[in-house]
Amino acid sequence: MTGPLSIRFVSMHTSPIAIPGAGDAGGMNVVERHQAHALASLGHTVEMVTRRADPDVPDVVEVAPGVTLRHLPGGPPTPLAKSRIDDHLEEFSSHLRRLDAPDVVHSHHWMSGVAAIPCAREWGVPHVQSFHSVAALPDSPLGEGEPPESPRRVPGERFAAQESDLVIAVSHAEARTVIDRCGGDPSRIRIVSPGVDPQMFRPLLAGEEPWREEPYLLFAARLQPLKGADLALAAYALLDPPLRPRLVIAGDTSEDFADYRHELDRIVAEHDLADEVDFVGPKAPDELARMLRASRIVLVPSHSETYGLIALEASASSVPVIASAAGGLTEAVVHGCSGVLIPEREPSLWAAAMTRVLHDEGYARRLGRNGRTHALGFSWEEHADHLVGLYRRLAEAAADAVSATARRDILPALRSAPAVGLLHAHPDDESLATGSLIADLVDYGVRVHVLTATRGERGEVVAGPLSHLEGTEELHEHRMDELAAALAALGAQPPELLDYEDSGMQWITETVAGPADDLGERALTSAPVEEVAERVAEWVRAAGLTHLVTYDSTGGYGHPDHVHLHHVGALAAVLAGVPLVEVLPTRRGVRWRGEWTELPQTRERVVAALRAHATQVTVTDAEDPAGVVVTHSGGQRDLIPLAVGLRRSTGIGTGVRTSHP
């Protein structure tokens, strides 16, 4: 099976398109919706199935191209408390099994799994389970999970975990819970981290009108004890009254927790906070994004979370996060880097953390900047791609099969194009990452343009006759001369420059890189994606380019300038109306899934191009059949393969979906 997949999402207790924070809608709805859009953008069809809770909605609603929402009977067609919905499991399941068989069924939450597993068995298709939350065992504290809404929940979760072909967990914490509490088989559990839309959830731009002019702290979640709004209020009450911003609480109660709002109102009255706390109800994703980017701090005091998507969305908005050190939040928030994790539920500790962020502007900026860098490593496109690979394996297809619609014949399309543009961050990137591709396209008569964002002025200089250039203005011009010589060796057009400053690089965690601490205003990562993308789009139009090529979402090896340019390229391609093609990295000899082509005939020109970058790399004289061996300025040896791996981008994360052939 190598063609597009037919995927059925089952979400019995809540509609995937419900506004998060309303009723029982939350992070699960966000994940489902993004999964569905991302899978559809890869060429697959997704039918989301939910219980009818309104007699007037159509049986089938088109949500987006390739994504539909189907309403099935399951009890009275009205909103029901979550604790009453599972009374209607059999009715919902009986209507579900009447539908045509898809290629794979993916259930969300335990009720959906219980209803869908028998249907999947009848259809003879694999069943995938996502829990999104797991109930605490009897007599367990609230911090270990959600309370069971009904006596069916704990056995239902065990059934779904043990009878599914695969369980998708969003974090290591959730995977451990499924194994320990539900008896899940570790060999049938895979972790697929959620993504974040970096264009919707982004920092506040200079001159942009904020959601509110006055400063505020934000709590955004369903109003139920698990989410800990009571702790947020208790800690807020301890802040110095003349200096504390307002507290905005976005979310609503569900029928099962109607009394909890009264408890919150009691805390507000007890501390005389009525004039400082605003309950604003649930918000649609675009308005929530506006609220996030203008807030001073986002509070996530949950007792337990499988992941805590709101924390990642806040980080993407460059807003510091203060969260519980519980469950998946320890993976969504990097303590001391993108936010603060607090293991205790003592309000004074939370108030102290809030006070430091509010009063230490440098600390707050550092948390926000590192949070944005951390969040950019989470892509819905990669998430969906991972799911597709798992779905195909379950359907007994080749593990490395890819979507025919999204990735078919990429290199032949580039070879037949009149003009192709490559977008790179620093001089030498074009030769290290795409030297073979450039030389190959030139052989086919393609006019190849290369736009480089910076002069790579922060890069070290190889020890030797040019080492005196390090840290000098002369290095800036020398790097451009090297770039011109390298492009000439490859046969490309003369270099073109955006002329931002190199952001530098430092490892802020073991796996996540960020810009240097002394980041300047003209640094590439300081420039808003929208600003840079407009310039790149204009370059594409002016040069008559038909395709744009740049890094994948990892930036190859994580350099913040590379990651920034990936998002710039995705938006620029949409603005210019051309397809975006991503270059896949090679790590430790492992090739990422995509179309790979060996290009050994380009060796001589690639070697010449690499030798041109004499301040940055040294080419090893010994010929290696697998590629060209270079030594970087820091002494690291690297194999540059005479091959290229390509993947057609879907534009996910730009806010606009692409549909180029």
Q: Would you state the pLDDT for residue 142?
A: 55
Q: What is the pLDDT averaged over residues 357-378? A: 93
Instruction: Give the pLDDT band (50/70/90) at residue 247.
Output: very high
Residues of the chain with CATH 3.40.50.2000: 6-191, 216-374
DSSP state of 592: P
pLDDT tens track for 266-294: 999 999 999 999 999 988 889 999 999 99
> Residue 194 corresponds to which tokens in the numbers above?
């959620």
Q: Would you state the pLDDT for residue 398?
A: 31
Q: Would you state the pLDDT for residue 83?
A: 77
DSSP string, 423-437: EESSTTHHHHHHHHH
Q: What is the pLDDT averaged over residues 303-331? A: 92
φ and ψ at 366, to 5 degrees? -65, -45
Better pLDDT: 657 or 471: 471
Distance CA 402, CA 404 (A): 6
Tell me the three state secondary structure of residue 627.
strand
pLDDT tens track for 429-438: 999 999 999 9
Q: Would you state the pLDDT for residue 506?
A: 85
Q: Would you state the pLDDT for residue 591?
A: 46
Q: Would you state the pLDDT for residue 624?
A: 76
Distance CA 231, CA 518 (A): 37
pLDDT tens track for 501-539: 999 888 765 556 788 888 889 999 999 989 999 999 999
Q: What is the pLDDT averaged over residues 225-250? A: 94
Distance CA 613, CA 483 (A): 7
Identity of residue 173: A
Q: Which of 179-183, 319-323, 527-531, 624-628 has the highest mean pLDDT?
A: 319-323
Q: Would you state the pLDDT for residue 138?
A: 56
Distance CA 269, CA 92 (A): 44
As assigned by CATH, the class of the 216-374 domain is alpha beta
Question: Does the pLDDT of residue 640 top 50, yes or no?
Answer: yes
Residue range 6-191 in CATH 3.40.50.150: no
Question: Does the pLDDT of residue 409 top 80, yes or no?
Answer: no
Q: What is the pLDDT averaged over residues 185-208? A: 89
Residues of the chain with CATH 3.40.50.10320: 409-648
As assigned by CATH, the class of the 409-648 domain is alpha beta
Question: Does the pLDDT of residue 16 top 80, yes or no?
Answer: yes
**CB within 8 Å of 182: residues ≥ 6 apart:** 131, 134, 157, 158, 160, 161, 162
